[in-house]
Amino acid sequence: MADFDIGAIVRDLNEARRQWRQAHRPAGEVRGIEFPSRDALATIVGQLKGVLFPLRLGPPDLRQESEDFHVAHSLDTALHALLRQVRIELRYSAALRHLTHTDIEPQALEATRAFGAALPGIRTLLDSDVIAAFQGDPAARSVDEVLLCYPGIHAMIHYRLAHCLYGLGLPLLARIIAEQAHAETGIDIHPGATIGAGFFIDHGTGVVIGETAVIGQRVRLYQAVTLGAKRFPANVDGTLQKGLPRHPVVEDDVVIYAGATVLGRITIGKGAVIGGNVWLTHDVPAGARVAQAASREDDLGASDISGESA
């Protein structure tokens, strides 16, 4: 029978934890912290998908005459489960700030109720995303195919739920939900980003949208597009400054083709077209075309900027 020195490993792991806590929580470890559950949130999001789209993302045996009953039951279950996770995040946040006498229950209940009330609006936004994908992809045969199969729509369901939680002051829950879609689709959308209606990500793998990005309506991105930061200002102690606007503003009706990298707090004007593999760090006027040097006039593909309407 194999023999392992379990005691020594346990002691060394204990020392590693002690060093981490000493380095990152200099005021002392807050005992009894509970963390939000990734598994619980995955279950909640699965229930909410069935609430938002009962006949397509709900249980396979659901019939239309039972929709409202299913929605009511699943919504009640999901919101009570979410309330528990909201309490945990609020307690966690308070503990990190050493606020030991904070009554988080009213705040938790208010946030969860606000999230539930936002679900019809989220459904409307997701409908616009599904329509944009169907109309923007000649390979799409139906809106049902888009909803069931397209990774961009899967990522947007997670994003729109997460963005609502982010706006309600629950960034940890929001980030967990967004990162679950990132792991499943390869599409990385920070829940702090602002994205308008009718957003379409075609193919999607490798898309990155940063925390402070602002995207207008009817915008289309292709795979491997990055809306990122150009630089990261630091404090005097060398730590990065948090929360500064550092990602692009993309106005309505913009198309950004595969592999383009758009960096910094720049503005891509309404109706502009950004070609594939472009590296862009400056503003683009409305209606402009930005392309790599091309062998033919009609190739889009950073170097060239034209003021002609795309």
Are both 81 and 144 inside the same structural domain? yes
Q: Which of 151, 186, 221 is the last residue of a domain?
A: 186
Q: What residues make up the domain containing 135?
A: 33-186
How many Å apart are CA 70 and CA 73, to the nearest integer? Answer: 5
CATH number at residue 39: 1.10.3130.10
Are both 160 and 89 inside the same structural domain? yes
Are both 61 and 159 inside the same structural domain? yes
pLDDT per residue as tens digits for the range 15-65: 999 898 888 764 544 556 689 999 999 999 999 999 999 999 999 998 998
Residue 217 lies in a domain: yes
pLDDT per residue as tens digits for the range 96-133: 777 766 689 999 999 999 999 999 999 999 999 999 99
Helix or strand or coil: residue 101? coil
Mean of the pLDDT values across residues 176-181?
A: 98
For residue 290 the two structure tokens come to 């930005």
Residue 193 lies in a domain: no
Residue 9 lies in a domain: no
Please state, in angstroms and as integers, the Cα–Cα distance from residue 43 to each residue in 52, 79, 227, 292, following that order. 14, 11, 30, 45
CATH number at residue 244: 2.160.10.10
Q: In what order do the strands lie in the sheet with 249-250?
A: 194-195, 214-215, 249-250, 267-268
Of the ranges 99-108, 140-149, 225-234, 300-309, which one carries the lowest mean pLDDT score?
Answer: 300-309
- Confidence (pLDDT) at 304: 55
Are both 178 and 240 inside the same structural domain? no
DSSP 241: P
Residue 181 lies in a domain: yes
- Confidence (pLDDT) at 258: 97
- Confidence (pLDDT) at 232: 80
Q: Which of 131, 153, 186 is the last residue of a domain?
A: 186
How many Å apart are CA 112 and CA 199, to the nearest integer? Answer: 26
Residue 132 lies in a domain: yes
Are both 171 and 242 inside the same structural domain? no
Mean of the pLDDT values across residues 281-287?
A: 97
Residue 24 lies in a domain: no
Are both 56 and 93 inside the same structural domain? yes
| CA nearest neighbour of 194 among 248, 151, 153 | 248
Distance of CA 135 to the CA centre of its chain: 23
Q: Is the dihedral of CA 214, 185, 153, 50 positive or negative?
A: negative
How many domains does one find in the chain? 2
Are both 153 and 65 inside the same structural domain? yes
Residue 11 lies in a domain: no
Are both 228 and 175 inside the same structural domain? no
How many Å apart are CA 267 and CA 279, to the nearest integer? Answer: 14
pLDDT per residue as tens digits for the range 151-166: 999 999 999 999 999 9
Are both 275 and 238 inside the same structural domain? yes
pTM, two decimals, is 0.89
Are both 179 and 71 inside the same structural domain? yes
pLDDT per residue as tens digits for the range 227-267: 999 988 888 887 888 889 999 999 999 999 999 999 999 99
Are both 219 and 176 inside the same structural domain? no
Are both 151 and 67 inside the same structural domain? yes
Q: Which of 138, 157, 186 is the last residue of a domain?
A: 186
Residue 198 lies in a domain: no
